[in-house]
């Protein structure tokens, strides 16, 4: 076995997200993302859940209670006042938006943070000693799987960084739509890893000053 081949990492909706309960209520996707091997030692990822995490009310996501024929209350999800239906549709709707690059960046940065935390958890676990009740063969297999898991996570982290770098159109989007104001008051502020990625990208083209403003 030369690779872990596929992994699944869980994701959570930030606790300070005001729509967190509603998002969980309507979500039908697995709460995480799948990492898998591709050709040339590269990795890929897929997730339906992450797109629900990275958008909020200010972006166009909303929820309403509607009464069913039986008289019960049912929560319904909407994207820009149109019924979302199944949350599996979220990515397709975002892909058609002008700010698709921004939503992608939010998702990738969120995944970067999750992968980094998983690597940190492996490091903190370290290499525990084998107990006498554990046979040698299963122990060696577990050790091998741990190394393959870490290798896949490290490759995934590199590939996610590569996905951030090509977002050149983000410069124009940030400036023209005022997504990133001088006081950072856009809802994007809710995603701290997103903010970090935006800063690192913007610093390539703009000089950053102490009062959180950008100048050419």
The domains of the chain are located at 6-115+165-215
Cα 42 to Cα 32, 54, 150, distances in angstroms: 20, 25, 14
Element (H, E) at 100: helix 100-125
- CA contacts within 13 A on the Cβ side of 100: 9
CA–CA dist 176, 196 (Å, integer): 20
- Full-model pTM: 0.72
Q: Which residues contact 159 (CB under 8 A, 6 or more apart)?
A: 42, 43, 44
pLDDT in tens, the chain (216 residues): 566 689 999 999 999 999 999 999 999 999 999 999 988 889 999 999 999 999 999 999 999 988 777 777 889 999 998 998 888 899 999 999 988 888 998 999 899 999 999 999 988 876 666 666 667 666 567 777 888 899 999 999 999 988 876 554 454 445 444 444 433 344 444 444 444 455 444 443 333 333 433 333
CA–CA dist 73, 66 (Å, integer): 6
CA–CA dist 203, 114 (Å, integer): 24
Rg (CA), the chain: 21
| DSSP one-letter code for 199 | H
Query: Closest Cα partner for 198 from 108, 97, 93?
Result: 108
């Amino acid at each position: 076995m030369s690779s872990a081949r596929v992994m699944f990492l869980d994701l959570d909706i930030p606790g300070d997200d005001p729509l967190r309960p509603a998002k969980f209520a309507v979500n039908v996707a697995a709460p995480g993302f799948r990492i898998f091997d591709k050709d040339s030692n590269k990795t890929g990822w897929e997730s339906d859940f992450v797109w629900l995490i990275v958008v909020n009310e200010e972006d166009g996501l909303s929820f309403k209670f509607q009464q069913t024929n039986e008289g019960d209350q049912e929560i319904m999800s909407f994207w820009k006042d149109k019924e979302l239906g199944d949350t599996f549709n979220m990515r397709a709707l975002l892909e058609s938006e002008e700010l698709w690059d921004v939503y992608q960046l939010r998702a990738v940065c969120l995944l970067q943070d999750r992968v980094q935390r998983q690597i940190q958890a492996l490091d903190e676990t370290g290499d525990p000693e084998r107990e006498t009740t554990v046979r040698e063969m299963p122990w060696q297999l577990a050790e091998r799987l741990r190394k393959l898991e870490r290798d896949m996570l490290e490759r995934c982290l590199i590939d996610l960084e590569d996905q951030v770098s090509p977002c050149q159109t983000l410069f124009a989007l940030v400036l023209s739509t005022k997504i990133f104001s001088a006081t950072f008051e856009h809802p994007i502020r809710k995603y701290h890893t997103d903010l970090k990625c935006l800063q690192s990208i913007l610093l390539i083209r703009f000089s950053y000053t102490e009062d959180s403003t950008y100048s050419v």
